[in-house]
Amino acid sequence: MKLRTRAVHAGHHPDAQTGAHVVPIYSTSTFAYGSFARGERLFAGEEPGYIYGRIGNPTVRAFEEKLVSLEGAQEAVAFASGMAAISALCNTLLAPGDEIVYLAPLYGGTEGYFLETLTRFGVRVTDAGSVENLPSILSPATKLIYFETPTNPTLRIYDLAAVAKIARARGVLTVVDNTFATPYLTRPLEHGIDVVLHSATKYIGGHGDCLAGVLAGPKELMDAVRAEGLRHIGGTLGAFEGYLMLRGLKTLPLRMEAHCAGAAKVAEYLARHPAVQRVHYPGLPSHPGHEVARRQMQGFGGLVSVELESKQAAAVFLDGLKLFTQAVSLGDVESLATHPASTTHQLLPSEIRELHGVTDTLVRLSVGIEDPEDLIADLEQALNQMSLVRVASR
């Protein structure tokens, strides 16, 4: 079946007992196992079934099954947030003395976790700088390579197949944060990547009303993550949130088409505006990763980042927006705008932000599903306010 069909039907089965067409919300903390012998088998992992809500829930399981189908994975594990998924994976795979190599930039929370938390537990963290540097940087201690594409917030594009080829030659696991692209636009496992991660809070949920994270990859590894990263650490996704994720995924293809179409028009408009210094959007032919994006994506996403004249200009521009809400996060049906250097990436040292292009002049726009003409009109009036303030200050 095509992806649009699987987005609706995968993991979706009428309830056997009641015939309910929509997956029920199983609001229970524990599950009866009926007998001493069956309980022993369940807890030993010798028989499939539900035993305790921290480890698994039928509503959440339906969400995991849908992600398995959409990403083309063997197994998936859901979590309470994207950061819970990242930390569960790292806690399962890494030990003191191991190394994680990443390709910058990353979401500020992810990079902060790597640099501040993992290093405290004896894990070496290395920024590769570029794909070309990977062969010389990887060492016997390297256990995984982690990256995003498109990246947050500069929308840099990394070649999935190129990274996978280098990693497999050295026996290193690859993990890709596919939050910005979603499985509708990119399926990293098809390009040789081992594990896909999502902050499902964003496009997968799509409505800005709940938090979730999810990992998808080989069954053996995902089973290990469930047993250790989820069971021991406990970043469990609730049944109601699992229900909301299921609801969101059903319309993911339709929403992504609207996000991509709107972002393309917004990017083209901003690229022509004299007050905008630079536009980051992989759909523009001028983007350095445009050709790679065309090859590995089925659309260019709903994020557009722009560089303005100064931090003050960015502040005036953001404060002037009316349809774009100033807020962190992304992927909602409503358009959002934020200044990453002072919000999502603020806790990173300024020299790291500057090195990765997260400058004081950068603004990130999450283009929603509103009419692009209305969004462009909002951007235009905010840019006009910015230009007026600049003229008045001279």
Residue 255 annotated as catalytic: no
Strands 173-177 and 195-198: parallel
Of 26, 66, 102, 107, catalytic = 107
Q: Which two tokens stand for residue 120?
A: 């405290």
* CA 12 to each of CA 59, 97, 114, 308, 372: distance values in angstroms, whole numbers, following the listed order: 10, 43, 36, 46, 33
Q: How many CB atoms lie within 10 A of CB 42?
A: 18
Tell me which residue has tokens 């098809």. Answer: 190
Of 177, 194, 332, 378, catalytic = 177
**In terms of Cα–Cα distance, which of 255, 268, 362 is closest to 306?**
362
Cis peptide before 105 (omega within 30 of 0): yes
Residue 202 annotated as catalytic: yes
Residue 4 annotated as catalytic: no
- 354: which residues sit within 8 A by CB, 6+ positions away? none
Instruction: Determine the straight-line distance between the first and last CA of the chain, rounded to whole angstroms.
Output: 61
Please state, in angstroms and rounded to a whole number, the distance separating the CA atoms of residues 333 and 310.
Answer: 29
* CA 221 to each of CA 73, 86, 156, 196, 330: distance values in angstroms, whole numbers, following the listed order: 11, 14, 28, 12, 29
**Do 181 and 301 form a contact (C-beta atoms < 8 A)?**
yes
Of 41, 54, 124, 278, catalytic = 54
Of 6, 143, 187, 202, catalytic = 202
* CA 366 to each of CA 32, 106, 304, 306: distance values in angstroms, whole numbers, following the listed order: 45, 17, 7, 11
**In terms of Cα–Cα distance, which of 81, 90, 155 is closest to 116?**
90
* CA 359 to each of CA 65, 70, 349: distance values in angstroms, whole numbers, following the listed order: 40, 35, 12
Residue 322 annotated as catalytic: no
Strands (E) located in 178-243: 195-198, 213-217
Please state, in angstroms and rounded to a whole number, the distance separating the CA atoms of residues 7 and 4.
Answer: 5
Q: Helix or strand or coil: residue 151?
A: coil
**Do 77 and 236 form a contact (C-beta atoms < 8 A)?**
no
- Which residues are known catalytic residues? 54, 107, 177, 202
